[in-house]
C-alpha cells in the first residue's frame, strides 16, 4: 500500500457559520468524520485552523515564507552520511565555510553511540516512526541530525532548529532516499557513489536559492509586468533591485528586504512575501556565487580596459592619476607662477560649472586649492574654499529640487512607495547639509508626508 502524508490541505465544509448549529463547538468532530468518509486516516496530532478570509490566508502564507527564509539563513552546511559505514557521502557548504566532514562524522558517531548506550534522552518534536532526532553542539555550530533507512542527515546551524525545519527534515529524508535509492544501494554493494543532481535536490528541498546572489531576468512576460506595476510593494522592490544592480551584478534578498523596509516601514513578512512572489514568477532569479564573482571580475576588467582605451577628450577631463601628475608638475613653480596657474584652474572650473559639469569644476577648484595651500596663499585659500562650498550648495539644491518634484509627482499618481523614497532622499539632504537650518519647515512637512503615505499603503 502506498501511504501519503498531506500538509496544508484546505477543506471547505460547505456550511455558512451563522446558519450552522454545530459551529464552532463541534467543527473538529465534523471535519474528522468527513475526512474519514473520504478515506483519510486521522490521528491525535491533527491540527485544524479556521481561515476566515483571503487576508487571513495571505497572512498565514506571509508568516510561512518568513519562517522559510529564517530557516535558510540559519543553515551553514548540509551533510549526508551513510548510516551503516559512517562515511560522508555529500558535504554541501551553504555558507561557503569549509569544514572537515569526516572528522565531524566521527564526532557524530561517537555522540550517538554514547547517547544510546547510556539511554540519554533525545529531543524530538513528536514521536515519528522509528527514527530519532539528535541535537548537539560542534565547535560554534548547532547540529540537527536525523536517521533514515540509508542515510544520516546532518544540518549544521547557527542557532537551534525551528519546528518548521524539523518538519522539513522529516519529509526530506524519505523523499531523498526514494529519489536516490539505487545510488545509495550501489554505494553499499560496490563502494561507488555519484552525487550528480543531489546538490540541486538539496537546494530545491530547503529553498537554499533564497540566500543565493540574485539578479533580475532580462525578459518579463507582459501579464507579470502588469501585475508588478499594479502592486506598489512589488514595484518598489523591482525598482530598488534595479538600483542595486547599478553598482554590482548581483544583490542578496536580505539587503533588498532591508532597503525596502526603510521606505515602507512594513513588517518584514509582508515585504518578503512580495519578494518571494517575484522569485516564484522568475522576475528575481538566483545565480551561483561563483558566477556572480566571475561576472563582477569581468565587469571590473571591462571597465579598466575601457578607461585604458579611451583618452580624455580635453585637458578639462581629469582622471585620479592626473592629480598625481599635477602635483609633480608644480614642484618647480615660484609663487608668481603658482598664482597664474591658480587663476587658470579657477577659470576652467567656472567654465565647467557654467556648462553644468559640476564634478569637473570641483576637480579644478580642488587642484587650485591644493596649490594655494602649498604656497600658503590665505586669500586664495578662502576664496577657493567659498567657491567649493557654493558649488556643493548648488549641487545639493539641484538634488533637493529634483527629489521634491519626483516625490510630489509620484504621490499624485498614487505611487506612494516611490514618493516616500524621494521624500526620504530630500530629508537626508536637508538634515545632513549644514547650509540648511535645522528648523527648516520642510523637514517637518516631509516627515509628516512620509507618515501619511505609509498609512495609505
147 backbone dihedrals φ, ψ, rounded to 5°: -95, 140
Which secondary-structure segment (H or E) carries 157?
A: strand 151-157
Question: In angstroms, rounded to a whole number, what is the distance separating the alpha carbons of residues 177 and 446?
Answer: 58
Task: Find out whether 422 and 403 touch, Cβ atoms under 8 Å.
Answer: yes
241's CB contacts (< 8 A; 6+ apart) are 214, 216, 251, 256, 284
Calculate the CA 256 to chain-centre distance: 5
143 in Cβ contact with 77 (< 8 Å): no
Sequence-ordered list of residues with C-beta below 8 angstroms from that of 61, at least 6 positions apart, any chain: 273
Maximum CA pair distance of the chain? 103
The whole-number mean pLDDT for each consecutive block of 10 residues of the chain, a chain of 457 residues, reads 61 71 77 79 72 72 90 91 84 74 66 55 39 74 88 90 90 92 86 79 91 90 90 90 84 90 86 94 80 47 41 38 73 84 88 80 87 88 87 82 85 82 85 63 84 80
Q: What is the pLDDT of residue 321?
A: 59
Question: How many residues make up the chain in this entry?
Answer: 457
Q: Tell me if the domain spanning 72-210 has CATH number 3.30.70.1900.
A: no
Q: Which residues pair with 135 in a beta bridge?
A: 144
Query: Residue 306: its pLDDT value, please?
Result: 40
What's the N-to-C CA distance of the chain in angstroms? 52
pLDDT at position 316: 34
Looking at domain 398-456, does it have CATH number 3.40.50?
Answer: no
CA dist 232 → 124, 167, 284, 445, 456 (Å): 43, 34, 16, 23, 11
**C-alpha distances in Å from residue 67, one per residue of 63, 220, 328, 332:** 6, 28, 60, 68
d(CA 230, CA 66): 23
Which of 163, 164, 175 has the alpha carbon at shortest distance from 202? Answer: 175
Q: Where are the domains of the chain?
A: 1-50, 72-210, 212-289, 320-376, 398-456
pLDDT at 8: 63
Number of H helices and number of E strands within the chain? 17, 7
Q: Which three cell numbers stand for residue 74?
A: 540559519
The reported pTM is 0.57
User: For residues 21 and 12, what is the distance between their CA atoms, to the nearest angstrom?
Assistant: 17
DSSP secondary structure letter of residue 162: P
Residue 123: HSE in the Cβ half-sphere, 13 Å Cα cutoff: 11
**103 burial class (0-12, 13-18, 19+ CB within 10 angstroms)?**
exposed
How confident is the model at residue 448, as a pLDDT? 85
* Cis-peptide, bond into residue 24, ω within 30° of zero: yes
Which set of grid coordinates corresponds to residue 299? Answer: 565587469
Q: Nearest-CA neighbor of 389 among 410, 365, 355, 367?
A: 365
Cα–Cα distance measured from residue 3 to residue 128, given in angstroms and rounded to the nearest whole number: 15
Amino acid at each position: 500500500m502506498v501511504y501519503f502524508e498531506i500538509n496544508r490541505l484546505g477543506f471547505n465544509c460547505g456550511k455558512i457559520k451563522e446558519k450552522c448549529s454545530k459551529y464552532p463547538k463541534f467543527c473538529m468532530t465534523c471535519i474528522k468524520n468527513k475526512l474519514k468518509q473520504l478515506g483519510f486516516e486521522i490521528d491525535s496530532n491533527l491540527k485544524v485552523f479556521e481561515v476566515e478570509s483571503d487576508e487571513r490566508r495571505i497572512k498565514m502564507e506571509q508568516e510561512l515564507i518568513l519562517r522559510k527564509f529564517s530557516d535558510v539563513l540559519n543553515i551553514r552546511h548540509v551533510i549526508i552520511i551513510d548510516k551503516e559505514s559512517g562515511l560522508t557521502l555529500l558535504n554541501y557548504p551553504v555558507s561557503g565555510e569549509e569544514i572537515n566532514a569526516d572528522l565531524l562524522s566521527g564526532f557524530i558517531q561517537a555522540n550517538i553511540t554514547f547517547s544510546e548506550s547510556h539511554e540519554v534522552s533525545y529531543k524530538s518534536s513528536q514521536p515519528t516512526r522509528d527514527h530519532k532526532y539528535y541535537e548537539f553542539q560542534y565547535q560554534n555550530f548547532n547540529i540537527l541530525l536525523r536517521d533514515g533507512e540509508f542515510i544520516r542527515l546532518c544540518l549544521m546551524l547557527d542557532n537551534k532548529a525551528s519546528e518548521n525545519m524539523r518538519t522539513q527534515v522529516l519529509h526530506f529524508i524519505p523523499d531523498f532516499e526514494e529519489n536516490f535509492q539505487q545510488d545509495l544501494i550501489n554505494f553499499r554493494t560496490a563502494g561507488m557513489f555519484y552525487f550528480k543532481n543531489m546538490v540541486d535536490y538539496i537546494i530545491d528541498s530547503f529553498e537554499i536559492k533564497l540566500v543565493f546572489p540574485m539578479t533580475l531576468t532580462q525578459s518579463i512576460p507582459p501579464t507579470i509586468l502588469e501585475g508588478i506595476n499594479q502592486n506598489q510593494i512589488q514595484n518598489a522592490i523591482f525598482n530598488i533591485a534595479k538600483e542595486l544592480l547599478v553598482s554590482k551584478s548581483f544583490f542578496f534578498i536580505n539587503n533588498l528586504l532591508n532597503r525596502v523596509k526603510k521606505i515602507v516601514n512594513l513588517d518584514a513578512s509582508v515585504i518578503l512575501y512580495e519578494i518571494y512572489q517575484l522569485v516564484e514568477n522568475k522576475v528575481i532569479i538566483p545565480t551561483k556565487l561563483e558566477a556572480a564573482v566571475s561576472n563582477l571580475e569581468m565587469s571590473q576588467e571591462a571597465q579598466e580596459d575601457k578607461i585604458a582605451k579611451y583618452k580624455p577628450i580635453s585637458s578639462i577631463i581629469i582622471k585620479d592619476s592626473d592629480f598625481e601628475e599635477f602635483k609633480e608638475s608644480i614642484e618647480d613653480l615660484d609663487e608668481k607662477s603658482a598664482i597664474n596657474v591658480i587663476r587658470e584652474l579657477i577659470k576652467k572650473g567656472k567654465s565647467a560649472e557654467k556648462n553644468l559639469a559640476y564634478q569637473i569644476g570641483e576637480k579644478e577648484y580642488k587642484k587650485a586649492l591644493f596649490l594655494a595651500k602649498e604656497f600658503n596663499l590665505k586669500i586664495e585659500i578662502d576664496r577657493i574654499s567659498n567657491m567649493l562650498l557654493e558649488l556643493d550648495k548648488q549641487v545639493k539644491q539641484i538634488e533637493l529640487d529634483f527629489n521634491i518634484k519626483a516625490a510630489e509627482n509620484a504621490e499624485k499618481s498614487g505611487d506612494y512607495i516611490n514618493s516616500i523614497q524621494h521624500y526620504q532622499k530630500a530629508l537626508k539632504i536637508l538634515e545632513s547639509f549644514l547650509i540648511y537650518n535645522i528648523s527648516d519647515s520642510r523637514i517637518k512637512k516631509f516627515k509628516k508626508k512620509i507618515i501619511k503615505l505609509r498609512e495609505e499603503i
